[in-house]
């Protein structure tokens, strides 16, 4: 099959088609060299074309137990070489895939010029103009105002019902399955709510912790989620990961901004400002907190000083920009979940409205 990538900078790159289709999205890259199953099923890649910088993707097969959600989320996948296992999986999922191109060139372009729109055309009779047509119809990430609806659960789901641990109300903006597992494994009962659930419905479960998940897109497009954070601020412990950190900061008076090419991979160094300790982390985000508002920056990215951890003793808030559950990646920061659930032990139960 023929394959073409039409990029926002004007270039059209030819490749070998591995899974057919025509699509578009924001061209981004990950530096991870393992965990392709987890990456491809991570809801945070919704509306993006994922390029793998590692040259061979698929050398240990495809196992469903590694999936972070029920489907592949990138609109297309690009690699120097995909194994047949991965190519067949993507074809079954209806996700275009292409390889046999210089991914170093794509990664360099994104690093130097920023994440960019692109159009993808893969098939027996596609042309460069087909890819250009997809590019012309491509929207920017901030224009996907309803992206939360594409990745959030449709109705409330309860995990570990009747457990004797903390009660967590999780606002699902595109949560990874391993985040839910990390909470349940520590005894928590997790009520997973759609991202736009009203505060009253959340209050009905009398949560010990309000947890805002990771997810795709611009945090400013999650207005309903921010409204719940504001409603519970100062009354219930609040935690968040990745997009969740951005939403919490924005809801409480801070601001966010789009990054040039984001942080995506398993080797992002983060420094704790109090201890000076540096840990390697797994990350996947294209936006960041610009002004934390009333929250204190407690951790920063060593490469660019962007906030990686926010806290407030007064408001009982604890958030992380990276993924403590990793999966794949280093497990140095798994203690975050213990800290979050530890926040629950000091709260006073509230009455639902």
* Mean pLDDT of all residues in 123-145: 98
For residue 331, the model assigns a pLDDT of: 83
Three-state SS string over 179-205 comes to HHHHHHCCCCEEEEEECCCCHHHHHCC
> Is residue 173 annotated as a catalytic residue, yes or no?
no
Residue 14 DSSP symbol: E
* Mean pLDDT of all residues in 197-221: 98
For residue 351, the model assigns a pLDDT of: 45
For residue 306, the model assigns a pLDDT of: 98
Residue 135 has pLDDT above 60, yes or no: yes
287-316: burial string, b at 16+ Cβ within 10 Å, e else: bbbeebeebebbbbbeeeebbbbbbbeebb
State how far the Cα of 29 lies from the Cα of 157, in Å rounded to an integer: 32
The active-site residue, picked from 26, 81, 242, 308, is 242
Residue 38 has pLDDT above 70, yes or no: yes
Name the percent of the chain lying above pLDDT 90.
94
Q: Which residues are paired to 49 by β-bridges?
A: 27, 76
Residue 352 has pLDDT above 80, yes or no: no
* Mean pLDDT of all residues in 319-324: 97
Residue 348 has pLDDT above 70, yes or no: no
What is the full DSSP assignment across 36-72? HHHHHT-GGGTTEEEEESSSEE-TT---GGG-SSSS-
State how far the Cα of 204 lies from the Cα of 278, in Å rounded to an integer: 40
What predicted TM-score, i.e. pTM, was given to this entire model? Answer: 0.96
Name the percent of the chain lying above pLDDT 70.
97
Residue 286 annotated as part of some ligand binding site: yes
Residue 170 annotated as part of some ligand binding site: no
For the segment 247-293, what is each residue's pLDDT rounded down to a tens digit?
Answer: 999 999 999 999 999 999 999 999 999 999 999 999 999 999 999 99
Residue 114 annotated as part of some ligand binding site: no
Residue 353 has pLDDT above 50, yes or no: no
Contact (Cβ atoms closer than 8 angstroms) between residue 318 and residue 277: no
Domains, the chain, ranges and CATH?
A: 2-139 (3.50.30.20), 147-346 (3.40.50.880)
> Is residue 325 annotated as a catalytic residue, yes or no?
yes
For the segment 89-116, what is each residue's pLDDT rounded down to a tens digit?
Answer: 999 999 999 999 999 999 999 999 999 9
Instruction: Return mean pLDDT, the chain.
Output: 96
State how far the Cα of 222 lies from the Cα of 247, in Å rounded to an integer: 7
Residue 222 has pLDDT above 70, yes or no: yes
Cβ neighbourhood burial of 39 (10 Å; 0-12, 13-18, 19+): buried
State how far the Cα of 170 lies from the Cα of 146, in Å rounded to an integer: 19
> Is residue 100 annotated as a catalytic residue, yes or no?
no
3-state helix, strand, coil in the chain (%, to 5): 25, 35, 40
Query: In the chain, what is the straight-line distance between the N-terminal and C-terminal CA atoms, in Å?
Result: 59
State how far the Cα of 42 lies from the Cα of 85, in Å rounded to an integer: 19
* Of the candidates 112, 106, 108, 122, the residue with the CA atom closest to the CA atom of residue 4: 122
pLDDT band at residue 328 using 50, 70 and 90 as cut-offs: confident
Tokens of 352: 């639902």
For the segment 195-205, what is each residue's pLDDT rounded down to a tens digit?
Answer: 999 999 999 99
Residue 287 annotated as part of some ligand binding site: yes
Residue 243 annotated as part of some ligand binding site: yes
Residue 217 annotated as part of some ligand binding site: yes
State how far the Cα of 77 lies from the Cα of 25, in Å rounded to an integer: 11
Specify the DSSP element, H or E, that contains 120.
strand 116-123
Give, in order, the Cα–Cα distances in Å from 41 to each of 31, 35, 177.
16, 10, 10
């Amino acid at each position: 099959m023929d394959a073409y990538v039409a990029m926002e900078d004007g270039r059209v790159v030819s490749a070998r088609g591995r899974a057919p289709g025509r699509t578009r999205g924001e061209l981004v890259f990950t530096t991870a060299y393992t965990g392709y199953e987890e990456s491809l099923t991570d809801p945070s890649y919704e509306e993006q074309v994922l390029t793998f910088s590692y040259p061979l993707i698929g050398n240990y097969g495809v196992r469903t137990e590694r999936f972070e959600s029920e489907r592949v989320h990138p609109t297309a996948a690009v690699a120097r070489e995909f194994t047949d296992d991965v190519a067949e999986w993507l074809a079954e999922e209806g996700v275009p895939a292409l390889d046999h191109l210089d991914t170093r060139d794509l990664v360099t372009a994104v690093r130097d010029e920023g994440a960019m729109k692109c159009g993808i055309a893969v098939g027996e009779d596609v042309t460069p103009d087909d890819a250009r047509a997809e590019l012309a119809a491509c929207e920017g990430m901030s224009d996907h105002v309803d992206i939360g609806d594409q990745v959030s659960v449709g109705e409330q789901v309860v995990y570990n019902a009747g457990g004797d641990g903390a009660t967590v109300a999780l606002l699902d903006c595109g949560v990874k399955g391993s985040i839910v597992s990390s909470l349940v494994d520590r005894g928590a009962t997790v009520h997973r709510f759609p991202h736009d659930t009203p505060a009253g419905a959340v209050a009905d479960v009398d949560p010990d912790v309000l947890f805002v998940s990771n997810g795709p897109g611009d945090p400013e497009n999650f207005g309903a989620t921010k409204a719940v954070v504001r409603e519970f601020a100062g009354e219930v412990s609040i935690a968040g990961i990745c997009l969740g950190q951005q939403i919490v900061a924005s809801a409480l008076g801070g601001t966010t901004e789009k990054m040039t090419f984001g942080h995506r991979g398993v080797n992002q160094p983060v420094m704790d400002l109090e201890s000076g300790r540096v840990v390697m982390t797994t990350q996947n985000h294209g936006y960041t907190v610009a002004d934390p508002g009333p929250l204190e920056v407690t951790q920063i990215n060593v490469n660019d000083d962007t906030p990686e951890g926010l806290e407030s003793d007064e408001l009982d808030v604890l958030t992380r920009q990276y993924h403590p559950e990793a999966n794949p990646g280093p497990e140095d920061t798994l203690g975050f979940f213990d800290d979050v659930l530890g926040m629950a032990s000091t709260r006073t139960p509230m009455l639902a409205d």
